[in-house]
Amino acid sequence: MKVLITTVPFGEKNTLPLEMLEGAKVEYVINPLNRKLTEGDLIEMVHDYDIIIAGTEPITEAVLEKASKLKLISRVGIGLDSVDLIAARNRGIKVSYTPDAPAPAVAELTMGLLITLLRSVHLSNLQMHNNLWHRYFGKRIADSTIGVIGVGRIGTRVLNRTRAFGTPRLLVNDLSPNHELSRKFKLEWVDKETIYREADAISLHLPLTTSTKDMIKSKQLLMMKPDAVIINTSRGGIINENDLYEVMKSGHLNGAAIDVFNHEPYSGSLTKLENCILTAHMGSMSVDCRTRMEIEATEEAVRFINGVALESEVPEIEYISQQDQL
């Protein structure tokens, strides 16, 4: 069998995933362009491979039409908006993913961005590099109202880490409220509009679907407190980037931190805003979590090669969710 590894970097910090493929005696190729592949790139590449170990590249129906030998997509990560699950199923292609591996790293980056925004660390750093001395007032987490939209693997970890800083007011929203978490964290389950109006900081932890695409536009941003901040470490496209730019340019909102973008690599208007922290989709990029993701995705590929049942095949609910969006 032949394996195409589309995600990069891969095997850079730990070569075990590559050693596993070599041990399985399969031929593999790592993304020869060493950048995020486009749909067109994939269409040119996929025709000769049985397995793709994928990142967030767009594995669309058009790509799958050219992948006549493809039998498995093993996703390095949790998001599935880049994979056309229905088209894959219709062609008998299995899809697996690594839903737990990235969560600790994404939650920790979220906390780092939260503290940075609340204490204006990024602005002070910029001032110091310009030989200016300005001491910013900020807020402590324990003295803030924190809004978390999406309380799954990552959102729950963010709540857990937030409580380590004291007892902030925690406003949360999710399609399926978890009342066991309420007892543990003293949560207030509210609608999203309440979070927009009352939170000092909002953190997003949602999949990208038709219902979350452009979920936060000018209307929602202007509902927020003028000195509030917002963080997105989940999926690009949930916050409308152009609207965020215009609202922040007008002076509304103290800051934002965006790790994920509608189109990556990103080079849009948000780069003009000093109070908008931009990071290059690096939420999962701690050495340990990235390594775990690569190993788990490779383990699934090796299981498939050896005729062993997959352990992290994408559940039916994800197919239903995509089907409902059609």
Going by C-alpha positions, the residue among 217, 216, 276 that lies closest to residue 251 is: 276
The two beta strands, 229-232 and 201-204, are parallel
In terms of Cβ atoms closer than 10 Å to its own Cβ (0-12, 13-18, 19+), residue 84 is buried
Alpha helix positions (H), 164-217:
179-185, 192-198
Active site residue 264: yes
Instruction: Identify the active-site residue in 281, 290, 292, 303.
Output: 281
CB 275 within 8 A of CB 123: yes
Active site residue 318: no
Sequence-separated (6 or more) residues with CB below 8 Å from residue 138 = 118, 119, 120
Per-residue burial over 194-222, b = 16 or more CB atoms within 10 Å of its CB, e = otherwise? ebbbbbbbbbbbbbbbeebeebbeeebbe
Q: Is the torsion defined by CA of 196, 161, 13, 121 positive or negative?
A: positive
Active site residue 135: no
Q: Which residue has the tokens 């006549």?
A: 68
Instruction: Identify the active-site residue in 75, 157, 205, 235.
Output: 235
Instruction: Identify the active-site residue in 19, 39, 44, 264.
Output: 264
Report, as residue numbers or ranges, the catalytic residues.
235, 264, 281
